[in-house]
Structure 1
Amino acid sequence: MAVTAAVRAGLFYFAGVFALAFLLGVVRILWLVPRLGETVAVLVELPVMLWAAWLWAGLLLRRLAVPRRAAPALVMGGTGFTLLIAAEFALGAATGTSPALQVAKWDTVSGALGLGAQILHAFFPLLRISLGRKTG
């Protein structure tokens, strides 16, 4: 039962984060990158994305009754992360970007920042439950 709730929460976690990332990505690519450059544009986008993912993780943990234990939180975050990376590769394939080129983008400053944020977002459910135990 805990795994089912965690996977379900991970699906919703992915969907919400992906939807916002898609919208912010359009803004970043069309308006920020031409004015600020790729790295600065990513640095502008990341705090918004991470803040939203943090809030979304907390909301889902409460609403979908994910058990307040490490394993379900990691399943939720891992599911969200795995689907986010899969969606990134699928979008890349749809636009003609090979998997090798997709991975090579992570070797740039902006790509490493984005990947780092995606990894961090995967741990937000665990961090939320850990902080929740300490603060009440």
Structure 2
Amino acid sequence: MGILRAAATYFALVFGTGFVLGAVRVPFLVPRLGQRTAELLEMPWMALAMVLAARLVVRRQLHGAGPAARAAVGGLALVLMLLAELAVGLLILHRPLQDILIDRDPVSGVVYLALLLLYALLPLLLGRGSTTTAVP
């Protein structure tokens, strides 16, 4: 149950940040700067939110957890993120599935995919060396 709770916490922190940033990006930045530039300006803030959220979860909920547990948290959080993004796109924004999955800007889309990979790996990477071992 600890892995599920940690993944849900990690997901909620990062998704919530993205939701707030998106509420600023879409109405204010996209009309002035365009979709690509607005997304690229948002991405460093999302990366920072991911690092801070992963660090918090690793320290508070996964202290002493091994690499398998931390990797499971990242993987499960990624699944939750992808499901949430699909749900928002389909149910709230009423976008076709093809637009959500395939029709992305070639530059910001690649950066987005790299951030998703980083998102999944951060709990594992930030927890390196934090497992507790018995000392004789």
What displacement does 1:43 show?
1.6
- Which one of the candidate residues 35, 38, 58 is aligned to 1:38? 35
Pair 1:116-2:99 in alignment: no
Matched with 1:52 is 49
Structure 1 unmatched runs, 5+: none
- Structure 1 residues 82 and 106: alpha-carbon distance in aligned structure 2, compared to 1, 3 A threshold: farther
- Structure 1 vs Structure 2 CA RMSD: 1.8
Percent identical across equivalent pairs?
Answer: 36
Distance 1:41 1:81 in 2: 23
Pairs aligned (count): 130
CA distance in 2, matches of 1:68, 1:38: 40
Secondary structure (helix, strand or coil) at the match of 1:18 reads helix
- Is residue 2:79 matched to residue 1:82? yes
In structure 2, the partner of 1:98 is 96
Kindly indicate whether the alpha-carbon contact (under 8 Å) linking 1:58 and 1:125 is maintained by their aligned counterparts in 2: yes
Query: Is the 2:64–2:130 contact (alpha carbons within 8 Å) kept by the matching residues of 1?
Result: no
Amino acid at match of 1:10: A
Quick one: distance in 2 between partners of 1:45 and 1:107?
14
Q: Which has the larger radius of gyration?
A: 2
Report the alpha carbon displacement of residue 55 of structure 1 after superposing the two structures with TM: 0.9
Residues 65 and 116 of structure 1, relative CA distance in 2, 3 Å threshold:
closer
Deviation at residue 66 of structure 1 after TM alignment: 4.7
1:52 is displaced (CA, Å) by 1.2
> Amino acid of the residue matched to residue 125 of structure 1?
P
What amino acid does structure 2 have at the position aligned with 1:64? Q
The Cα of 1:69 is off from its aligned counterpart by: 1.9
Change (3 A) 1:68 1:32: same
Shift of 1:120: 1.1
